[in-house]
Amino acid sequence: MKPWLLLVYRIPREPTAGRVFVWRKLKQLGAIAVQDAIWVIPQTHRTREQFQWLAAEITELKGEALVWDAEQIYATDAESLRRQFTEPVEAEYREILAALKKKSPDLPSLSKRFQEAQTRDYFASEFGRQAREKLLAAAEGSP
Amino acid sequence: MKWVTWENVGIDRIGCAWMILRNIDPKATFVFIPRGTAIPPDAEPFDIPDVRFSHHGGHCSFHALVDHYKISDPVMHRITRIIDEADTVQAVNIEPAATGLDLICEGVRLISPNDHAAIELGKQVYDALYARLALESGQTTAGGDQ
């Protein structure tokens, strides 16, 4: 499997609901619009499946969509794309870690946030591993 | 009737096959074709992009079947919600079983020698899920004993 998936699409301006639907899904998957031109996401079994269905739904909304399997062969800043995916997820993990250090943290809500962050953690972040450990440790410590 | 879908079945395709046999066509036979290849003309396709029993309006293919065949069983509607949350991107996620069922279905395919065997085993998983959810049907809230 190549590391990236790319999507380019066009969708009629009206009805706006269709445009919003597609945009929201891309955001929720954690896809990034590189140069405001092409949507990119790390390839996993799940993202491949989701991009393909989204493309079919764009077609159904009378738009046009193209999806590629891709490998990056040149980039001005090789790590920049990857960072755009890791940074928001790591920020979320760091917030969870910080909240765990406070007095009587809200463990149920923090574990939900952790699960949520995990769905967009495409590069198995070290902060994710830490957050998992600390959450489990906090659960042990709580009455 | 002959039904066709892509090979390497997962949560949605296993669920669809189970429901087709259970609620729609008990004598159904299934054909599995490689992703992206031509659909045999004599078979009804499901969970393949751009066919009627597929993802529509942000819902899974299981949803398309439940809708088309007007299945009113509340337990089936609950299972539809679970598959929707597992297999499509949803803004609201309220079914904790979704992630687990997704992983189990992937595992069912991994331990099965082929897609036919995966459907056979997957049917038992869905029968078990149905039986458990049926205990709760009629309740307004989920998971009475959790």
Distances (CA, A) of B1 to A77, A110, B115, B135: 55, 49, 18, 32
Give the nearest chain A residue to B55 (CA atoms): A53
Give the model's pLDDT for residue A15.
86
Touching check for A56 and chain B: CB below 8 Å? Answer: yes
Give the model's pLDDT for residue B138.
63
Pick from A29, A45, A56: which is nearest to B50 by CB?
A: A56
Q: pLDDT tens digits for B51-110?
A: 999 999 889 999 999 999 999 999 999 999 999 999 988 888 899 999 999 999 999 999
Give the model's pLDDT for residue B143.
44
Q: pLDDT tens digits for B18-51?
A: 999 999 999 999 999 999 899 999 999 999 998 9
User: What is the crossing angle of helices A126-141 and A107-118, to 10°?
Assistant: 160
Residue type, B144: G
User: What is the crossing angle of helices B74-87 and B61-68, to 10°?
Assistant: 150
| DSSP assignment letter at B38 | P
CB-based contact B58 A56, cutoff 8 Å: no
Q: If you count residue pairs, one on A and one on B, with CB atoms under 8 Å apart, how many are there?
A: 29
CB-based contact B50 A55, cutoff 8 Å: no
Give the nearest chain B residue to A22 (CA atoms): B58
| DSSP assignment letter at A119 | T
CB-based contact A50 B89, cutoff 8 Å: yes
Q: CA B125, CA B17: separation in Å to the nearest integer? A: 12
Give the model's pLDDT for residue B142.
45
Mean pLDDT of chain B, nearest integer = 92
* Phi, psi dihedral angles at B118 (to 5 degrees): -65, -40
A143 pLDDT band, cuts 50/70/90, is low
Touching check for A29 and chain B: CB below 8 Å? Answer: yes
CB burial class (10 A; 0-12, 13-18, 19+) of residue B70? exposed
Touching check for A83 and chain B: CB below 8 Å? Answer: no
Identify which has the larger pLDDT, B112 or B145. Answer: B112
| A76-92 mean pLDDT | 91
Give the model's pLDDT for residue A141.
75
Give the model's pLDDT for residue A142.
65
Is the pLDDT at B133 greater than 60? The verdict is yes
With a CB cutoff of 8 Å and minimum separation 6, the contacts of A41 are A4, A5, A7, A29, A30, A31, A32, A47, A51, A122
Q: pLDDT tens digits for A111-137?
A: 999 998 998 899 999 999 999 999 999
H or E element that contains B23: none
User: Most B CBs within 10 Å: which of A23, A44, A52, A53, as the mutation test of the B interface?
Assistant: A53
CB-based contact B49 A53, cutoff 8 Å: yes
Q: pLDDT tens digits for A2-37?
A: 999 999 999 998 889 889 999 999 998 889 999 999
Residue of B10, B20, B32 lying closest to B105 (CA atoms)? B10
Residues of chain B found within 8 Å of residue A60, distances taken between Cβ atoms: 50, 56
Measured between its terminal Cα atoms, the distance across chain B in Å is: 41
Reply yes or no: is the peptide bond before residue A15 cis, omega within 30 of 0.
yes
Give the model's pLDDT for residue B61.
97
Give the nearest chain B residue to A21 (CA atoms): B58
Can you read off the two tokens belonging to residue A128? Answer: 């994710």
Pick from B10, B55, B91: which is nearest to A56 by CB?
A: B55
Residues of chain A found within 8 Å of residue B91, distances taken between Cβ atoms: 24, 28
Residue of B142, B143, B122, B141 lying closest to B62 (CA atoms)? B122
